[in-house]
Structures are given as structure tokens and as C-alpha cells.
Amino acid sequence: MPKQFDLLIFDWDGTLMDSAGVIVDSIQRACEDIGLPAPSDRASRQIIGLGLVQALQALLPDLPAEDYPRLVERYRHHYLGRDDQIPLFAGVVDGIRELHASGFQLAVATGKSRIGLERALEASGLGAWFAATRCADQTHSKPHPAMVLELIAELDADPGRTLVIGDTSHDLLMASNAGVASLGVTYGAHEAGDLHPHAPLALMDSFVEVHAWLSTNA
């Protein structure tokens, strides 16, 4: 089958790294630290993928503006204490290496900060396989198309041969806004029902399935 895509843009949290549960717990603990009721797991999962400040503003739109910095600080306190213990999903290390060896250009578009992504790339050993990365504190947060469009420009890629792979509606809407195709994964933060409306090419239930689909169809 002829190759359809040259550039594969992966989300990080919930797509490559099994971090959604830690993110939810850190959000809930941070809220409790500043005297707020802990939001539900569902509400907390819905804002994963956005830049941190934008995510907290979406989750708690009535919080006074002066309280967001304190909430961000408490979130980082809880998350950073555990981020070096968060595993990659099964199959990610071998899959990413094999996709790179097969000739795909690989990139990351994430709601993480630049410092956070660099730490994750170093801890996971995956940094060598990605040609370029974009983070929420470098440009517009998802679902704005800037991350995808900047990666395409940096890597001199063809939008028609670019594929975004992500676990949230924010990822898939970012792809749609950028005019590129997407592949959804159901094992991260958002459920299949959140992803279907954004017309991904397919929905995958594990990274092993993602790798198999890309190897056969991409």
C-alpha cells in the first residue's frame, strides 16, 4: 500500500505517556490545597491537553484571577513530585523507534510546558526520535492550529501528508483546524464519544494498535 503520510505528530500525555490519572489527581489535590472542592474525574479529564493555565481557567472559570497562580503552583507541586515515575504506554518505545526507522518524520505537540516536555523526553529516552516539538508555553494552546502549522513549516512537510495522533478532542480539533488528518486513541483522557465528532480516520484502543495501524495504513 502506498505511503499516505510523511509527518506523524503525536500528543504526549495520554497518548505516549500514561499520565492522565496523575494529572487528574494533581488537579484535585491542588484544588483542595486552596480550599476548593475537588472537581470530578470526568471534568478534570476533559481539560487535559490544554495548556496548564488555560486548562485550569476552563475547569474553574469563576475562580478569581489572582488565585490561578497559586493553583498552578500547587498543581506543579503535586505533579512534579511524581512525573519521573509515570510510565510510557506498552509498546511506545519500540513503536516510536520502528516508525522512525521506517522513514516517518516524528514530532510532538503537547499541552506540557517546554521544561516539562524536555524532562519527559530525557527520562523516557525518546528525545532522539523526534525531529521537532511544540509546547503550550511556546505558542497557542490546543485546539488552535498553531502547533501543527509551526511543525509543518519547520519540517517543510506537506499538510496533506501530515497526521496528528492524540487522545483528546482538543488534539483532534487542533488537527481539523490545521486542515490535517487525525487518529484518535481511547486509552488516554477522553472517551470514544468525545473523539468521534471530530472525524478521526480511526480510533485505537492501545498504542500497540496505533503502531500496527500506522505500519499498515500510514
171 Cβ contact list (under 8 Å, min separation 6)? 11, 15, 49, 109, 142, 143, 164, 165, 182, 184
- Quick check: helix, strand or coil at residue 187? coil
Residue 64 burial (CB count, 10 A): 7
Q: Any catalytic annotation for residue 13?
A: yes
Mark whether 137 is an active-site residue: no
Report residue 40: phi and psi, to 5°: -65, 160
Please state whether beta strands 105-110 and 181-185 pair in parallel, antiparallel, or not at all (unpaired).
unpaired
Identify residue 144 by its one-letter amino acid code: H
Active site residue: 6, 13, 137, 171, which one? Answer: 13
Q: Closest Cα to residue 72, out of 60, 88, 89?
A: 60
- 6, 11, 18, 25: which one is catalytic? 11
Catalytic residues: 11, 13
